């Protein structure tokens, strides 16, 4: 199939939207408070450092996607680079586990924002209930009507981008620049460590690689889409972090770590702004849970087909890789309810950095 094949239906804007939509999921809502806790006033710098790592990784994905266009993404690249065997199997399984941790992070954020939005004396019960309900509910919807949910993804992506851009535009007027000076930053080592821990906020740009076989003029379109989407999200995240730190004292952001973005909106948007961001966070993380559930289930099926997981996971029921989906769901519910936010972010970033960096340019 040549790059001029009329069956290639994805152009530059569509490919860029895939990358932006994949990155601006639940990550920024989940890790902003953690970033400030680790790096203090240097949170915008930490997001910039993590973005530079994402940009370098995007270079490898660009080269690989042009050379080896497929729907397999990272798994296909690892298989091609190292062939079937222990190393490839280990990295692929690590990638699957990383998806579970990412799902757990999204579910944790969904529960935290929801519990604060519906704050009661039993907010911990609310959080655990919402964590479990979000994963189980979206798993059921995936099984019943994945197409319907997929059609709603574009709408959700549009809503969350509008709300985040509104947060940046309105919050920029009230920034206290002194809260962002180098005197308020953590040490250079903590800035670098914080950037690596929150790297998972950029996870998602690799979804462009999964669409490479359907992209028009891939030699030109893929590099532009990868770099444009990553650069746009770097700018967005840096501005969000600057607005948050510039409008709310660091100690208050740390205290509201699990729902920091909503708390940061309160000084200039009031309680209505807090509720708006909390609703956006729940929509965004639910959307991210749905997309990642589908991807994780498909990933387990592909790995099993390669002989790297038990054969039962390569069987389909109702034309869906159900066993992998159910295992992913159970593991996610357990992890999200038992592991704290900092550990989830650290494990998720480490898993994706190892898997993504193992694909040679």
Indicate whether 200 belongs to any domain. Answer: yes
Residue 44 has pLDDT above 70, yes or no: yes
- The pLDDT value recorded for residue 96 is 80
| CATH number of the structural domain spanning residue 47 | 1.20.1740.10
* pLDDT tens-digit readout, 177-217: 999 999 999 999 999 988 888 888 888 888 788 777 788 88
* Cβ-based burial of 279 (10 A; exposed 0-12, middle 13-18, buried ≥19): middle
Q: Based on the structure, what is the number of domains in the chain?
A: 1
Residue 239 has pLDDT above 60, yes or no: yes
Indicate whether 309 belongs to any domain. Answer: yes
* pLDDT tens-digit readout, 65-120: 888 776 566 777 777 766 766 777 777 778 788 888 888 988 999 999 999 988 76
Indicate whether 4 belongs to any domain. Answer: no
Mean pLDDT score, 39-66: 92
Indicate whether 1 belongs to any domain. Answer: no
* Cβ-based burial of 297 (10 A; exposed 0-12, middle 13-18, buried ≥19): buried
Mean pLDDT score, 316-343: 77
Domain ranges, residue 294? 12-357
């Amino acid at each position: 199939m040549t790059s001029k094949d009329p069956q290639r239906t994805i152009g530059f804007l569509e490919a860029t939207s895939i990358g932006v939509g994949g990155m601006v999921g639940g990550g920024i809502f989940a890790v902003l408070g953690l970033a400030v806790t680790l790096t203090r006033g240097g949170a915008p710098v930490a997001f910039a450092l993590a973005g530079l790592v994402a940009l370098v990784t995007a270079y490898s994905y660009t080269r690989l996607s042009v050379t080896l266009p497929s729907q397999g993404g990272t798994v296909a690249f690892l298989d091609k680079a190292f062939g079937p065997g222990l190393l490839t199997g280990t990295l692929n399984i690590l990638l699957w586990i990383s998806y579970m941790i990412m799902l757990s992070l999204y579910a944790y954020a969904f529960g935290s924002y929801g519990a604060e939005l519906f704050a009661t004396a039993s907010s911990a019960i609310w959080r655990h209930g919402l964590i479990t309900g979000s994963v189980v509910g979206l798993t059921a919807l995936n099984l019943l009507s994945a197409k319907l949910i997929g059609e709603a993804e574009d709408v959700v992506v549009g809503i969350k981008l509008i709300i985040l851009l509104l947060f940046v535009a309105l919050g920029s007027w009230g920034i206290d620049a002194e809260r962002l000076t180098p005197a308020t930053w953590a040490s250079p080592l903590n800035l670098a460590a914080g950037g690596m821990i929150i790297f998972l906020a950029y996870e998602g740009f690799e979804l462009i690689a999964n669409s490479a076989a359907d992209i028009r003029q891939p030699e030109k379109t893929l590099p532009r889409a990868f770099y444009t989407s990553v650069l746009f999200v770097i700018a967005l995240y840096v501005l969000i972090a600057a607005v948050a730190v510039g409008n709310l004292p660091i100690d208050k952001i740390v205290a509201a770590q699990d729902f920091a973005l909503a708390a940061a909106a309160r000084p200039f948007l009031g309680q209505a702004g807090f509720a708006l961001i909390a609703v956006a966070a729940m929509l965004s993380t639910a959307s991210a849970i749905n997309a990642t559930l589908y991807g994780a289930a498909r990933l387990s099926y592909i790995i099993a087909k390669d002989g790297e997981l038990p054969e039962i996971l390569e069987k389909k029921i109702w034309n869906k890789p159900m066993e992998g989906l159910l295992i992913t769901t159970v593991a996610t519910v357990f992890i999200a309810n038992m592991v704290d936010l900092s550990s989830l972010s650290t494990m998720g970033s480490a898993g994706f950095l190892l898997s993504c960096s193992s694909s040679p340019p």
